[in-house]
C-alpha cells in the first residue's frame, strides 16, 4: 500500500472531481462509488487497508471534493452551478431553502445554462432581442439575420427559462422568432 501525503491526495481528488464534473455535475452516491472503485481498480496501490471494500474512504473524499469543486465554480460565476448555490441565509431569510427546485441538465443536454458570449452582456443581448422583434414584424424578413441573432441570444433565452420560469405564452411573445 502506498502512503500518500495530503498534497498528493488533493491532486488526485481534484483531477477526479474535474473529470467527474465534465460528465455529470451532480453525480449520485452510486456513481461516486463507481468512480472511487474504478480509481482503486486502476491503481491498486491506492487501496485502503482499513476498509472492507478498499475504496470507501475515497468515495467519501470524492463526495466532499465534488461539493467543494461546485462551490468553487459557483464563486467563479459559472452560471450552471451558481444557479443552484445556497439561497437562504441570515441576510436573505425569504429565499428558497437550498436543495429546493434544483435546476440540472437533463440527459444528453449539453448547454444547460451557458455563459454569455465573449464581449456581450445582458443589455447588449436584449438589444439583439429587440432587433429580432423588429425584423419579425417586417413583411420581408431577413431570415439569415434573424437566425444569426437567435443563435447569439441563446444564452439570454436559456437564462430567462431556467431562472425566471415564464409561461410559454409570455415567452413566445418576447421571442416571436421561435
Give 64-122 pLDDT, tens digit per residue: 999 898 888 877 777 666 666 666 667 667 766 666 666 665 665 555 677 788 888 88
- This prediction has a pTM of 0.58
Give 23-66 pLDDT, tens digit per residue: 888 888 999 999 999 999 999 888 888 878 889 999 999 999 99
Which pLDDT belongs to residue 114?
77
Let me know: does 102 contact 84? Beta carbons within 8 Å: yes
Crossing angle of helices 6-23 and 56-75, in 10° steps, is 70
Which pLDDT belongs to residue 155?
87
> Of the candidates 104, 102, 80, 100, which has an alpha carbon nearest to the alpha carbon of residue 159?
80
Amino acid at each position: 500500500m502506498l502512503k500518500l501525503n495530503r498534497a498528493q491526495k488533493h491532486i488526485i481528488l481534484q483531477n477526479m472531481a474535474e473529470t467527474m464534473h465534465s460528465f455529470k455535475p451532480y453525480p449520485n452516491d452510486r456513481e461516486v462509488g463507481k468512480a472511487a472503485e474504478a480509481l482503486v481498480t486502476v491503481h491498486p496501490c491506492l487501496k485502503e487497508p482499513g476498509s472492507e471494500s478498499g475504496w470507501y474512504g475515497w468515495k467519501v473524499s470524492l463526495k466532499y471534493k465534488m461539493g467543494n469543486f461546485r462551490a468553487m465554480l459557483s464563486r467563479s460565476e459559472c452560471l450552471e452551478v451558481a444557479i443552484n448555490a445556497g439561497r437562504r441565509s441570515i441576510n436573505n431569510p425569504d429565499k428558497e431553502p437550498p436543495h429546493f427546485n434544483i435546476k440540472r441538465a437533463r440527459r444528453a443536454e449539453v448547454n444547460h445554462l451557458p455563459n454569455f458570449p465573449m464581449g456581450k452582456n445582458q443589455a447588449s443581448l436584449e438589444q439583439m432581442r429587440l432587433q429580432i422583434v423588429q425584423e419579425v414584424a417586417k413583411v420581408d424578413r431577413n431570415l439569415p439575420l434573424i437566425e444569426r441573432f437567435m443563435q447569439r441570444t441563446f444564452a439570454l433565452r436559456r437564462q430567462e427559462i431556467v431562472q425566471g420560469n415564464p409561461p410559454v405564452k409570455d415567452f413566445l411573445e418576447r421571442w416571436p422568432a421561435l
